[in-house]
Chain A
Amino acid sequence: MYWEEHLETLPREAIEKIQFQRLKRLLCYVYENVPFYRQKFDEYGIKPEEFKEIEDIKKFPFTHKDDLRNSYPYNMFAVPLKKIVRIHASSGTTGQVTVVGYTKNDIEVWSNLMARTLVSCGVTEDDIVQNAYGYGLFTGGLGFHYGAEKIGATVIPMSGGNTKRQVRVMKDFKTTVLTCTPSYSLYLAEVAEEEGIDVEELNLRVGIFGAEPWSEEMRKEIEEKLHLRAHDIYGLSEVMGPGVAVECEERNGLHIFEDHFFVELINPQTGEYVKEGEVGELVITTLTKEGIPVIRYRTKDLVSLNYEPCPCGRHFVRMSKVLGRSDDMLIIRGVNVFPSQIEEILMNIEGTEPHYMIVVDRKDYLDVLEVHVEVNEKLFSDEMKKLQELERKIKEEIQSNLGISASVKLVEPKTLERFEGKAKRVIDKRKI
């Protein structure tokens, strides 16, 4: 099923033609309107006019997450604030968050792409969509909301959390489509069971899950427990939010909406293109965004690309599920966490220069974060209350800085593995 059949079924040549035209216009647009890009292009000695064929994009510089962070809050915006109708921000980082702004037209385009997303998963105006992505600065909640309204479906704006209420609503309101993170869907299934709700009493038929990596095994488990068809969706707030790519009915890769996003796949070390089928870092250029367009944005997400035509009729390139990260970022309950942030917190706690280990696991379908800290002589006290105070302090700092709860475990010195060279600070036990 299509939302915009003529655009979604464009042949490759037509897609590439549109991309070329839009890239050309975009490069001029950012050069004129965003001082950051003007300066960067000048540094590289490249002018927008030198973009004569698609391959020329390689001459233009990459944009990094840090560039967006450093432009906090509004310095990368290409339009005056009065043209911006919505702000979102990325979650859970110390220091500067990444702020993005949308014009009226950006919201329109985004809603339309989310409509495409929902329709390609088989959602129609007859559906009742329970949207359990968080509403707020996070793009997930409102992104899905606008898309579902656009296609005329009935939206239940549940946002995240309040799980018992979610399952009651799911049953009583006869929800047919569930949208949330994959791990939360399993938690919902578990709570439904605890509440004595039989999956047969539910009307679920489609689930659209994203914002964190998940596996085919997990898909099987979700489908068995909730009796629905689970689709993977990809997006990131720096580029737009959800609706960058989604699995069609074939569920054999996620179609990237290439009339709005130009993608490249690079070796994260060298910046060179990788061969088709090989794994590389996804680089995205927004083709139609007005508020905060990005040029060659380094997502750090590792994927492979497949340009073969898809039986669904779309010629948009398909990306694999996200296979990993080219940096050490962890996604814990949908929140981005860098080990360095935890290190900073520990360093800031008086007298601490500790060896630590971050252990991430999945218990009862939810991610749990455990921080093991070696107790050295500086940290040690003969008084229990002081040790407990230390644990509490670390926990609180993690909660307030990263916005996620962690359990802290004090361990004896030299019990954590030592590594030569680059220290391994993370044990990720989640089976993704």
Chain B
Amino acid sequence: MPVKQISVFLENKSGRLYDLAKVLGDNQINMIALTVAETGDYGVVRIIADKAEKAVQVLKDNGFTVSETDVIGVVVPDRPGGLASVLEVLKGNNLNIEYLYCFAGPTKDTAIDIMRIEDVTKAEDIIRRSGFEVLEKIDTID
């Protein structure tokens, strides 16, 4: 089971990201990771939240264009070369990454890489078989 990422379309207007954060906050939804990809006129906000399903619902109710995307969450060692070690596996299997972002992992010496890869199931399988921990769910961080 891949991790659910929430993707939101936002126009590049002042206050829109605030609106989004406010809606999630008011509904007691905690964001674990957030990244924005932007062009001149608009951006796509990508969020990992503790209650993904509820988050999607409240955002839709508030008029946002939202989609859920399957992404892969991999636990990698938090040390120089940590990211490279998992990328090497992908490269070796000819898997291309659409986008990726990282944040600190649940323990001091781990980090989590979130990857968007076309064939999620296949990629997950390969990563797992190469000895990495693939997350099923990212709820909270201790």
Interface positions of A (Cβ within 8 A of B): 375-377, 380-385, 387-388, 409-415
Contact = CB atoms under 8 A, between A and B. Distances in A.
A384 B65 contact: no
B11 A411 contact: yes
B41 interface: yes
B65 A413 contact: yes
B11 A412 contact: yes
B5 A414 contact: no
Interface string B105-118: 00000000000100
Contacts of A409: 41
Interface of B: 5, 7, 9-11, 16, 37, 39, 41-42, 44, 46, 63-67, 69, 98-99, 116
Contacts of B39: 384, 387-388
A412 B9 contact: yes
A375 B10 CA distance: 10
14 contacts: A377-B66, A377-B67, A380-B65, A382-B7, A382-B44, A382-B46, A383-B116, A385-B98, A388-B39, A410-B42, A412-B10, A412-B64, A412-B65, A415-B11
In the A-B complex, list the 4 residue pairs whose CB atoms are closest, starting with the nearest: A382-B7, A382-B69, A380-B65, A375-B9
B37 to A, nearest CB: 5
Given A410-B42, A413-B65, A380 B9 contact: yes
Contacts of B10: 412
A382 B65 contact: no
Given A410-B42, A412-B9, 4 more contacts: A382-B46, A383-B98, A384-B37, A387-B42
A94 B127 CA distance: 51
A380 B63 contact: no
User: Which one of B9, B10, B63, B98 has the highest number of Cβ atoms from chain A below 10 Å of its Cβ?
Assistant: B9
Contacts of B66: 377, 380
A412 B16 CA distance: 10
A411 B13 CA distance: 11
Contacts of B99: 383
Contacts of B7: 380-382
B44 A387 contact: yes
Contacts of A411: 11, 42
A412 B41 CA distance: 11
B47 to A, nearest CB: 10
B106 to A, nearest CB: 25
Contacts of B116: 382-383
B67 A382 contact: yes
Nearest to A385: B98
A414 B67 contact: no
B67 A380 contact: yes
A381 B130 CA distance: 30
A380 B43 CA distance: 11
Question: Most A CB atoms within 10 A — which of B11, B42, B65?
Answer: B65
A415 B41 CA distance: 14
A312 to B, nearest CB: 52
Contacts of A414: 63
A375 B65 contact: yes
B55 to A, nearest CB: 14
A414 B65 CA distance: 10
A413 B63 contact: yes
A393 to B, nearest CB: 16
Contacts of B64: 412
A352 to B, nearest CB: 14
A269 B39 CA distance: 46
Given A412-B11, A412-B65, A415-B11, A384 B41 contact: no
A351 to B, nearest CB: 13
A383 to B, nearest CB: 6
A377 B41 contact: no
A376 B65 contact: yes
A229 B55 CA distance: 65
